[in-house]
Structure 1
Amino acid sequence: MGCLLQWTLLLAVLLCLPSRSTAQGQCNNVVAADIVFLVDGSSSIGRANFVLVKNFMSGIVKPFTRVVGPSGIRFGTIQYSDTARVEFTFTTYLNGTELITAIENINYKGGNTRTGAGLKYIADNFFSPSSIRDVPKITILITDGKSQDSVKEPSQKLRSLGVKIFAVGIKSADPAELKLIASPPQSEFTSQIGNFKALSSLLPLVSRRVCTTTGGSYSSDEAYSGPSDLQFSSETTNSLRFQWKSAGGPVSGYVVQYRPLSGLGQPITAELRQETIPSDQQSYTARELRSGTDYLITVIAQYPSSLGESVSGKAQTKPLQVVTALRLIQAGFFNLALGWDTPADQVQGYRITYGPIGQPAAQLLEQSVGAESTSLTLVGLKSDTEYLISLYPLFPRNSASPATLTARTLRLEGVQQLSVETISNSSVRVRWTGVAGARGYRIVLGPFTGSDVETIELGGDSESHTLGNLRPDAEYIVTVITLYSGEAEGPAATAL
């Protein structure tokens, strides 16, 4: 598992490495093999990048130059776009020097990307049963995009003929398609990089794999110990600081890579970030990270013409402090006053969402306040309704879990203990117990029979009123209605 992880990391998007193909290795103890390059010549590559592709191809050939020959190592090349074009066959160049010169002289084709047609052409013409040799057989695909035709059947046919397929993807190549084409295990036969300049850094790794697939043993000029003892010394909510012991040999720098891990512990390749630092630096601080997140950190030794060994480790950034003590200060009939304590981490502001319990998230109301705020009154609410309130602290590059609170607005009450006292044969006094929060009261007076109704509005501090000019011996109905802010009214209280 450790080797697979190291191989995967070394094949990540290397953006800042040397662009010169200078593979110094040799493939030893190899007897014979047939190797075909299948090179994407579509228009998306461009002439300048196609030169880098040819440099990569030459670098693959160089470890075999001493054993290129009619009974030894043979190379062929197909360049494809809309159609497949034979650049040279197994028998065209049987000398290592001439072979490298021929690769350098390949003319760029241009056109669409029909990878499936190219794979089929190789199966039918380079590895047909009538002409096949009983030696290791290899195809090396180099492409920068997704195929415009099916690759499943032709790649299956090629593999069924005993051909090992390497799939090298650049830029917009489809990772799933590369794995579909490549021989198993895909971790060893699939490579993907972010740009054409990174081909030179990928070369030592692919060269070694191609050599061992032919049955040979790969040796570089010298093997050096990689960086070691990766230690984490400081973790914040958005940074990780770490250091390591230096690698052996003529180290020209270190490639530091870091990427978050998913909930299942898998590296999120799309979010990989990296930086190349000088060889005399053995510490680094990764910044602008997610809070409360596991990260995979890898430090790779970089030499003048290749990458060396690596060391990896995992660490977690600290979680952001959520808002503490979100509380209800006061509930009103149509408002809720809230307060909270400021988090320890510096915030840019707050976002508040709220709505009745059970209301869909899309229908929640929202407000924003500045970083200096520690209170807010939600207004325009419904009376006697329970609300779910969420308070989100806003940080520069991260989000924190919200603090939540449920609170209920007050119920609109009617007056209590309503009574009517006769003062004279033409007047009565109406009394009641007032309601806190009422802005006023409306008294409605009318005879038990008839339509002669009188309406009187009083202030919110009133608890009695005398009604005069009544008809002696007539029965009246007295109703008192509590008035709240706006047009809201409480339930009516009635007395005879």
Structure 2
Amino acid sequence: MLPWTALGLALSLRLALARSGAERGPPASAPQGDLLFLLDSSASVSHYEFSRVQEFVGQLVAPMPLGPGALRASLVHVSSQPYTEFPFGQHSSGEAVQDAIRTAAQRMGDTNTGLALAYAKEQLFAEAAGARPGVPKVLVWVTDGGSSDPMGPPMQELKDMGVTVFIVSTGRGNLLELSAAASAPAEKHLHFVDVDDLHIIVQELRGSILNEMQKQQLRASEVTSSSFRLAWPRLLTTDSGYYVLELVPRAGLGAPRRQQLPGNATDWTWAGLDPDTDYDVALVPESNVHLVSPQHLRVRTRPAEPPPSAPEEAGPARIVISHARPRSLRVSWAPALGAPAALGYHVQFGPLRGGAAQRVDVPAGRNSTTLQGLAPGTAYLVTVTAAFRSGRESALSAKACTPDGPRPRAPRPPPSAAPARGP
């Protein structure tokens, strides 16, 4: 039997080893990924609702394996301007993240969700901003359902990057709009729940997030009509093997393509592809150290983009009447922005109440002319027509009035005849 001092020393050593093991963070088998919480922190959410959402997110993340080699979490507030409460990598345990969420202050302001989504794409999920390449990325958006700005396009850009989107609405959101914003299928990624019942979905949502993170999945993003980008979690190392990527057109109309990549690679972009075509992709990890199963994916390129149309031929955008005199006035016009240059203009004018119309031709490069020989105090219809090389003409009309002229003087009576004088 060990003396009490030796036994105490052994127990202390075991505790120290246990603590050091805990400080090393999650085990090597822990899932990797970046998890972003987007919270509605605007004035449309009451302080009570915000506190319940804080509690919900804290419960959701507390038991998750966070650390440099596992999950990383970040929190962004939706307000008039997006605000990062903490970025990826700042906290390395679920308890630390829970504490940071608990002490977060509501920002108030407008609900500019679209602005916050664009901010998340550029400042957090982009590799240029320090995001880890090749790891799953998940967005959990907790909202009361409204947005002050359009959020569809930036949300689609995030999904095109490969971000999986979960949405939790506290019951006032538009079902169709939120279903389109969530990742497909919507029934697995969209939850409608009262703010006081958020605890009901904690376990289910946490399991869905961890399942997404644990997927050793080949993903496609940045799909265009002629290219797409592939990304996958880190399955090998430089010393443990290499990858072979295979690309085969589904219809069998083209030759298969193959690319060998080092074991530390986590992405590759295929270019020079045909538009609107299905491609079968295989990622084959080759390793003598351990067996890693191949992964397969089917990607369809976007349809070919139509060629840019020629600028539309358009007449003057605006007519200005100035320098109006009883018998003349000046006509000026502004060509339409972006329209092809006109070969010239002709200006037609005539009295509104009937009368012969006259025409003045104006060469290209000039945008004004003076109309002469008008009648005082008369309303005229003035039409400026632009003529183009195609033979097409485009016109714009405006009304113009000449002021009254000076009144004519009354004729003087003839001088009376002098009386005749007699002899």
Interval containing the TM-score (normalised by the shorter chain): 0.3 to 0.5
Give TM-score, length-normalised by structure 2. 0.43
Give TM-score, length-normalised by structure 1. 0.37
More strand by share: 1
More helix by share: 2
